[in-house]
Structure 1
């Protein structure tokens, strides 16, 4: 009996404790809800609402003629506050809105969107993302007219969340030069190097954290972002396209590892084209800036012989006619053997022929004769030429050149002769080109530039002008000798395969053996560096093709043809480089000269000079066909329309190349003669991307 009573007492006590605990909970709930409600609501709101950045629009990157190379395009995600719209507006439009959403996105049914919107409104949710897919500006304008949405953000509840994407109108053209920047602010190219200008300054605004995302609150405290500046580059889109196509074809043909091309204006240092292509499993892409960076810094090989000859002429009185015996093509220096490309050797050569034929032995012997007692003098000349210094290029990542000194521990008895032919030192292609450009520019070494202005709309924020690095790299007498030798390489030497009858080219081929695992192997870095037209240089250019395979893998066979293709296109589209046509007096005025087609200005000038009557059917046409009429010429319109194949029959080769090149056609020339007799594509046909045309001369 006592046990039963004891159990009852314990149960009653336990029940009492539970009741008291429940009452305490109810009290606390009531206290929090009614007594401290305002306090906790304030804390909750403070935690839900916070300032977040409003990202600035990134600036554009332009080519030299104002074409957009990179821009930020606005895209949007569609979100919705279903609680804002009035009941009448909501009920009248929700079915139509659900139907339109289902048809537009095509991923969910009409019923799915209707239930999603109604459920969110019933639950009082102030933010739902209708679909994660991004839409463009035109889609945004269309959606803004849909039921409920047409009432706007404040009355309809539609929220278009802006998302910007970087867009390159020319696709992969100059991709590595344009570059990129990631979320960690790491990147490459112009996007990275000029990020401080392009990025702008972000603003900030209040956002409320609610289920499904963050909803902006526009209360007047928001700070507007300062959008980024635009940068104006020196890149010529047409020449860039030619450079990349010519480089790509050479790489594919020779199954090479990588290649690069740089085309620069001699006087200004403005880079008009810079192409970099590296081999991947899927083909060739712009994976690295070999023209500027460390991976492209290599032993230049024979293109460096220009620097050696410059040092020789500056330090001695050696003349181009002086001779040197190169022997049978094999020369023992200390414990190594140097060879020439020709089996059996070249025998006795003049100094000019040593350079034209790129004789390693000839250059090495000249260096030994004049610098072996003081090799540091040779090094000092190289430093004087600026070859040991960076160029201060505008893009990040410029490689540091390596020119060995006699104080270096690695200096050996053969180092002088090795350096003289381009080994035991390293330069980037851009640094080599800047040196060649100085020779073309009468000894004035200028800094290469790729960005000429930073702009905000039409206002120039900062401009970059040509900067002289060295007022006179060497004497005028030395320059004269070097120019003769460089022209001789193309006229008579290792690059005579790119000789042109229209303009003169000066340059030097290079073929340097590659090093793998500390040993030289039978792979080569081939190159050609030079300028054109040689008698009045407008452009300088360097081409690098690394590790070409197959037969004929020397610089003159691999790299020089790429130079030639780019030079031909640049020359064809730049009338200022063309030699003026001289008017000739017609011996017999009753006999008219054979003129069929060409530039109206040129033909009219010639006719007026030689006294032939001429009549123009249309004063607005630049290009005309010629019809003989009695003892006069009648000029008929021959319009050149964008996107259409022009009629170049009857024109000179120079005029035909100019017109076809501007229409982005790849031109092949057959036959020999002065004028175009036939063309493979019919005049007026549409031009497809990558179209080729063959013209036959007669």
Structure 2
């Protein structure tokens, strides 16, 4: 009996010692954690306790030069999520939502058929919706026609309908800026996100009354463009009408202030709707022809040759030559009408857009001089493979295509009247602006000012680059000769009573992509000019791609010039340029 008691005491003592040992280890562990591991564990705990939320900034608005109704702005919007575990009738719900959300019924059925999941109701660009769509969905839910569909608030970009789509660009459903001003100035427009950090409970709710840390977002800046909405609207209408009337493949029109380089209007056809880009944007209409298209300019390029010849003192308006045809290194170059006008003066040669006249001027200049002036006028070095961008603040600007070497005599001749080289519309606008403004090449641009949100304070004014490339006297003489082109030459259909338009027509054959010369009957017709000729306020450029004229052949004078006239007729009064009762400003 005694031995049993002894063994029991020993067992109790052993158990007690073991418990004591465990207690000592536990105390030591607590001591270790509270002293040596304190900072590390506290940091880990804070990660569990503290919730951080990103605060999205509001994207800045884009205004025209008048700062009236914005061209692009943020509006309240909604996106929809389905809790598929609560959707009672998949097909019925899809049928009800499809016409409202603009998402194909089969796509909705696939999404709603995912078991016990939370699914966003989106398809390509269909994701964010305005308030009227939200109300329709809520009404269906309240009537018990759909179940398990929930709306969440967000914002979406809104644009002035059918206005300057290529110039503005758009913001896609993922918040990425695509094309135009939206892309180039995305950093300014989007602002900087803020954040809030706070102690949270198990359910994620904030424990304290105020956040632990709070960094408000920096809202995006507002942009004021050089665009004039009234002029832009008129340009869009005139270009659209011309494309329709002439069954053309496409076209572009640009209106600019030659003294500042400001683009007042820029339109391209075919176009798309920035508000519905997912359903309207495609490979046919995504190109901004004003800055991305490259084509042989034809006779509008003769302005460079003319200005160069005047500047170099080799242009004699009264000197005569035999028009019709000329032999250059065994190659016969003819005037556009095939026969010429007999022996005429160079003044008349400019008025009638004689190829022979400009071949002779190009030959007198020589390849190095002509190449120098082409470069001066912003096109780049013709002896290189590609030209030079103007640097306009829009994405995807093309550079033009040149010979990539010294010119052969026939190439010099062709270049002098705008054949064999490819340039862009915006390059031509910048070039003729130098003639219009008295001899300075000015970098074209579409941003005028940067403002704090809601136009509270102006923070930046754009000052474009400029450089003198020809003398004022040269520009003045060129303007007078270009006035003659419109008054009684190939550009008469661009003339506008009281405004004394000056300019140049262009009718360029389109090269065969297969390399077999030029396509028969396929032309890019254009007109570039300014008004009034003696103190220009506006430069206008119009190009129509492959127009069709019933029973005749399209030309810059018959197709593009009338469009330019219509644009100037609307734009000049908007600019408050008064008509002059004297036809050519002479009493």
* Corresponding position: 1:234 with 2:226: yes
Number of corresponding residues: 470
- CA deviation string 1:434-475 (max 9, x = no partner): 11111111112222221111111311122113x34213x212
1:501 is displaced (CA, Å) by 2.1
The more displaced of 442-451 and 45-54 is 45-54
Matched position secondary structure for 2:420: coil
Counterpart for residue 371 of structure 2: 379
1:317 is displaced (CA, Å) by 3.5
1:205 is displaced (CA, Å) by 4.5
* Corresponding position: 1:276 with 2:268: yes
Alignment of 1:417-436 (within 5 A): 417-436=413-432
> 1:509 is matched with which residue: 505, 508, 529?
505
Counterpart for residue 564 of structure 2: 563
How far apart, in 2, do the equivalents of 1:218 and 1:580 lie?
78
The more displaced of 46-55 and 496-505 is 46-55
1:332 is displaced (CA, Å) by 3.1
Alignment of 1:68-217 (within 5 A): 68-76=70-78, 161-168=152-159, 170-182=160-172, 183=174, 185=176, 187-205=178-196
Asked if 2 retains the 8 angstrom alpha-carbon contact of 1:176 and 1:288, the reply is yes
Counterpart for residue 304 of structure 1: 301
Matched position secondary structure for 2:396: coil
- CA deviation string 1:371-417 (max 9, x = no partner): 4xx42122123223333143221222222244546xx17x3331100
How far apart, in 2, do the equivalents of 1:216 and 1:226 lie?
26
1:556 is displaced (CA, Å) by 0.8
How far apart, in 2, do the equivalents of 1:520 and 1:209 lie?
73
Alignment of 1:51-70 (within 5 A): 51-66=52-67, 67-70=69-72
Alignment of 1:356-375 (within 5 A): 356-368=351-363, 370-371=364-365, 374-375=366-367
- CA deviation string 1:512-563 (max 9, x = no partner): 1111222321211111011011132110111111122333311111111110
Asked if 2 retains the 8 angstrom alpha-carbon contact of 1:205 and 1:216, the reply is no
Distance 1:338 1:215, change over 3 A: farther
Counterpart for residue 526 of structure 1: 525
How far apart, in 1, do the equivalents of 2:391 and 2:417 lie?
26
TM-score normalised per structure 1: 0.61
Matched position secondary structure for 1:561: helix
Distance 1:476 1:138, change over 3 A: closer
Asked if 1 retains the 8 angstrom alpha-carbon contact of 2:530 and 2:538, the reply is yes
Distance 1:208 1:258, change over 3 A: farther
Matched position secondary structure for 1:513: strand
The more displaced of 494-503 and 522-531 is 494-503
How far apart, in 1, do the equivalents of 2:416 and 2:297 lie?
11
How far apart, in 2, do the equivalents of 1:166 and 1:282 lie?
16
Asked if 2 retains the 8 angstrom alpha-carbon contact of 1:209 and 1:215, the reply is yes
1:193 is displaced (CA, Å) by 0.5
CA RMSD of aligned residues (A): 4.0
> 1:353 is matched with which residue: 348, 363, 380?
348
Counterpart for residue 315 of structure 1: 312
1:43 is displaced (CA, Å) by 9.4
Counterpart for residue 436 of structure 2: 440
Distance 1:415 1:71, change over 3 A: same
- CA deviation string 1:596-624 (max 9, x = no partner): xxxxxxxxxxxxxxxxxxxxxxxxxxxxx
Asked if 1 retains the 8 angstrom alpha-carbon contact of 2:538 and 2:572, the reply is no
Asked if 2 retains the 8 angstrom alpha-carbon contact of 1:239 and 1:273, the reply is yes
Counterpart for residue 392 of structure 1: 391
Unaligned 5+ segments in structure 2 are: 1-42, 83-94, 98-116, 139-149, 273-278, 381-387, 583-587
- CA deviation string 1:18-63 (max 9, x = no partner): xxxxxxxxxxxxxxxxxxxxxxxx9999689864533221110111
Counterpart for residue 35 of structure 2: none
> 2:459 is matched with which residue: 458, 461, 469?
461
Distance 1:202 1:305, change over 3 A: same
Higher relative strand content: 1
Asked if 2 retains the 8 angstrom alpha-carbon contact of 1:254 and 1:549, the reply is yes
* Corresponding position: 1:554 with 2:555: yes
Counterpart for residue 6 of structure 2: none
How far apart, in 1, do the equivalents of 2:480 and 2:188 lie?
45
How far apart, in 2, do the equivalents of 1:178 and 1:439 lie?
29
Counterpart for residue 538 of structure 1: 537
Rg: which structure is higher? 1
1:250 is displaced (CA, Å) by 1.0
Distance 1:228 1:485, change over 3 A: same
Asked if 1 retains the 8 angstrom alpha-carbon contact of 2:200 and 2:207, the reply is no
Distance 1:215 1:165, change over 3 A: farther
